[in-house]
A and B are shown apart, each in its own frame.
Chain A
Amino acid sequence: QKEVEQDPGPLSVPEGAIVSLNCTYSNSAFQYFMWYRQYSRKGPELLMYTYSSGNKEDGRFTAQVDKSSKYISLFIRDSQPSDSATYLCAMSGISGSARQLTFGSGTQLTVLP
């Protein structure tokens, strides 16, 4: 079993839809949770960063963490064609080394105009 599971998609939605992207994980030591957006042929860019459980909102994006269920989500409201990208979840535990960021495999999202 992988430490982080992410549905690879592809996910296709019409413009304006609410998108839900999800990851599950098995390591209860994870404390920090990140979402990256990667456009085709580009490096991943940090989108959202949360610590422990709860919600965090940034414009049209909301990151949600449920540590009791080991489940994190990214919601995109009023999705736009420019949101078409691969979304990667990532997480880490208490810092002790430089390699503790664990990534999901990414979900490919297409928003149709």
Chain B
Amino acid sequence: SQTIHQWPATLVQPVGSPLSLECTVEGTSNPNLYWYRQAAGRGLQLLFYSVGIGQISSEVPQNLSASRPQDRQFILSSKKLLLSDSGFYLCAWSDRGSPSDTQYFGPGTRLTVL
């Protein structure tokens, strides 16, 4: 069965510090991978998606970036965090062969920028 991991679970960072969040998927090959942000009481905002190694599409201009160094690894980064970067970050995967793009989510990382 497929499993998706995210770490860390919780992170408190000062403004201006760098960020690296990691997501890995097990039990599947060639997944589509996604990064979302969910602000408190708000819906899901798609940040990045990837259909393959080194292939990243950005949905929202911001100071965040994403990379996919391996097939089942997806990393979200920032060089300098802003207060507005606080939120709940979710990684998700979908089966590239699925016609529905049904996505399966990880446990999330709660980021607080002070």
Q: Which residues of A contact B (CB under 8 A)?
A: 31-32, 34, 36, 41-46, 49, 51, 88, 90, 92, 94-95, 97-101, 103-106
Contact = CB atoms under 8 A, between A and B. Distances in A.
15 contacts: A32-B99, A32-B100, A34-B102, A46-B102, A92-B101, A95-B99, A95-B100, A98-B49, A98-B50, A99-B34, A99-B101, A100-B101, A101-B102, A101-B103, A103-B44
Q: Is the interface of A mostly helix, strand, loop or mixed?
A: loop
Interface string B80-114: 00000000101000101011111111111010000
B12 to A, nearest CB: 15
Interface residues of B, number: 28
A46 B99 CA distance: 16
Contacts of A104: 43
Interface in B14-45: 32, 34, 42-44
A53 to B, nearest CB: 15
B43 A106 contact: yes
Interface of B: 6, 32, 34, 42-44, 46, 49-51, 57, 59, 88, 90, 94, 96, 98-108, 110
Given A43-B105, A43-B108, A98-B94, A49 B46 contact: no
A100 B102 CA distance: 9
Contacts of A105: 42-43
B57 to A, nearest CB: 7
Most buried by B among A44, A92, A104: A44
B99 A44 contact: no
